[in-house]
Amino acid sequence: PLALLQDPSLFKTDALIDGEWIKGAARFDVHDPSTGARLADVANLGPKEAEQAIAAANAAWPAWRSKTGKERSIILRKWFDLLIANQEDLGRLMTAEQGKPFAEAKGEVAYGASFVEWFAEEAKRVNGETLPQFDNNRRLVVIRQPIGVCAAITPWNFPLAMITRKVAPALAAGCPVVIKPAELTPLTALAAAELGARAGIPAGVLNVLTADSANSIAVGKVFCASDTVRHISFTGSTEVGRILMAQSAPTVKKLSLELGGNAPFLVFDDADVDSAVEGAIASKYRNAGQTCVCANRIYVQEGVHDLFVEKFAAKVKAMKVGNGFDDGVVQGPLIERAAVEKVERHVRDAVAKGARVVVGGRKLQGQFFEPTVVSGATGDMLCAREETFGPLAPIFKFKTEQEAVAAANNTEFGLASYFYSRDVGRILRVSEALECGMVGINVGGFGTEHVPFGGVKQSGLGREGAHQGMDEYLEIKYLCIGDV
């Protein structure tokens, strides 16, 4: 697939530090999850290069922060234009290394680029405040300044958007960044960085440190221990988020964490069942179920339960699974074998505890798994407690609103929730009662660049996107000015 790139120079396999492409002493392989084929070998850098990248970022910081917001905005806008102009090639790299259907990959390029567009605009709006004085010969002013060198550690499920959602606000605010992309999907990240360099992002302001899984752990330690790195933004598992938080305690680093979810999806008796089915398909099976906001548990009230299961199962049965480059494919492979095994384990456990497989349930060849629906799910099953991160939809039957909300909140996670109802009172009550950062009401998806994305409880800290996304990268300084 990569032979078909319109611009072959976007196929980058070296790391980017201080404007130089670094080969590194060692390399690691990147594979196509659909075919198992080796796509590339990429620079495998470690702690020494992490220190170099941090130093380069720090050296580039003063010039970057002293540009005006408008100057930074112009560069970011150019980067946005280049990302869009190269949407096909970026999509191609993404489908090849990540597996998602090509149309979905191109959709992610547009979504990823939209953060760059949005924060290019926000770069011009880092406003301060003046406060009323408490004494007539003083003036009180609040300014906001870039926090400093930022590190971003990103996952494989959105190889572009999870980078731009962090990098764009950091750059807009006047901060340099060192990115450590997921080892499974570094090619999209490197191509995006190349386009950033073409857009005029100066050397050292945007660095991409590629590393395999062992080196990623080592690099993570360097980021956390560094006094120069003032902020770490991480998207990934709650488990790794906890490690980064603990490792960051000695340097009291500011953290933005976007961690695991276990999204409930509630369908009440007063719902429009057809829309609920559409929403559940969109929320559950996007990216083969590998998003942190995918519906993980579907609770359906008894009055519409059987109708919902029937309609939902019929749609799931019709989904085409295969290589993301093939026509009509709506579900690609899972990212790695361990992911396939986890879905299998969840299905087996559910069946052993009394659930019934309505559609699918089996592993296919390679890293593919059938889109699966099980009914009769209960709270003691693994799929109720853990994020499956795959194409399994467990359906739980409930009687009362109270019971459904209690079950929905019975998790340490709190990222996204969804529910379908047409009762205004219920919409208000349930929206307020759900313990989470984002609620989709009568919709199965809500992602866009100008809304605050993030979670509560063990789903993380901070918000990405929207004007709140800039706050993560800005420090507040209070000036008390005497009138002498």
Catalytic residue numbers read 258
Q: Both tokens of residue 481?
A: 């000015």
**CB of 72 or CB of 230, closer to ligand ADP:** 230
**CB of 183 or CB of 370, closer to ligand ADP:** 183
The reply to whether 236 sits near ligand ADP by the rule CB under 6 A is yes
Q: Please report how close the Cβ of residue 35 comes to ligand ADP at its closest, in angstroms.
A: 21
**CB of 159 or CB of 279, closer to ligand ADP:** 159
What is the maximum alpha-carbon separation in the chain? 79
The reply to whether 160 sits near ligand ADP by the rule CB under 6 A is no
> How many chain residues bind ligand ADP (CB under 6 A)?
14
Q: Both tokens of residue 279?
A: 């929403």
Q: Please report how close the Cβ of residue 436 comes to ligand ADP at its closest, in angstroms.
A: 19
The reply to whether 217 sits near ligand ADP by the rule CB under 6 A is yes
The reply to whether 462 sits near ligand ADP by the rule CB under 6 A is no
Helical residues (DSSP H) of 66-185, grouped into ranges = 69-85, 87-98, 102-122, 161-173
**CB of 383 or CB of 405, closer to ligand ADP:** 383
Task: Give the distance from CA 385 to its chain's centroid.
Answer: 21
The reply to whether 155 sits near ligand ADP by the rule CB under 6 A is yes
Instruction: Report how far apart, in Å, the C-alpha atoms of 328 and of each of 95, 103, 279, 365 are.
Output: 14, 10, 20, 19
The residue range among 25-33, 148-156, 268-276, 301-309 that interacts with ligand ADP, by the rule CB under 6 A, is 148-156
The reply to whether 153 sits near ligand ADP by the rule CB under 6 A is yes
Question: Half-sphere exposure of residue 282, counting CA atoms within 13 Å on the CB side?
Answer: 14
Q: Please report how close the Cβ of residue 176 comes to ligand ADP at its closest, in angstroms.
A: 19
The reply to whether 159 sits near ligand ADP by the rule CB under 6 A is no
Q: Both tokens of residue 147?
A: 């926090």
With DSSP H G I counted as helix, E B as strand and the rest as coil, what are the percentages for the chain, rounded to 5?
A: 45, 20, 35
The residue range among 143-151, 214-222, 321-329, 349-357 that interacts with ligand ADP, by the rule CB under 6 A, is 214-222
Contact code string over 173-192 relative to ligand ADP, x by CB under 6 A: -------x-xx---------
- Other C-beta atoms lying within 10 Å of the C-beta of residue 400: 10
d(CA 59, CA 203): 10
Residues 6+ apart with CB under 8 A from 474: 126, 144, 145, 146, 147, 173
The reply to whether 63 sits near ligand ADP by the rule CB under 6 A is no
**Ramachandran bin of 371, using left for φ above 0, alpha for ψ from -120 to 50, beta for the remaining angles:** beta
Contact 260, 357 (CB under 8 A): no
The reply to whether 460 sits near ligand ADP by the rule CB under 6 A is no
d(CA 358, CA 374): 5
**CB of 231 or CB of 305, closer to ligand ADP:** 231
**CB of 216 or CB of 301, closer to ligand ADP:** 216
In the list 35, 87, 145, 237, the residue contacting ligand ADP (rule: CB under 6 A) is 237
d(CA 236, CA 240): 7
Interstrand relation of 460-461 and 254-258 (parallel, antiparallel or unpaired): antiparallel
In the list 34, 216, 248, 301, the residue contacting ligand ADP (rule: CB under 6 A) is 216
d(CA 330, CA 209): 32
The reply to whether 240 sits near ligand ADP by the rule CB under 6 A is yes
**CB of 154 or CB of 323, closer to ligand ADP:** 154
Q: Both tokens of residue 449?
A: 């660049």
The reply to whether 4 sits near ligand ADP by the rule CB under 6 A is no
Residue 395 sits at φ, ψ, to 5 deg, of -110, 125
Name the residue whose CB lies closest to ligand ADP: 220
**Which residues of this chain interact with ligand ADP, rule CB under 6 A?**
153-155, 180, 182-183, 213, 216-217, 220, 236-237, 240, 243
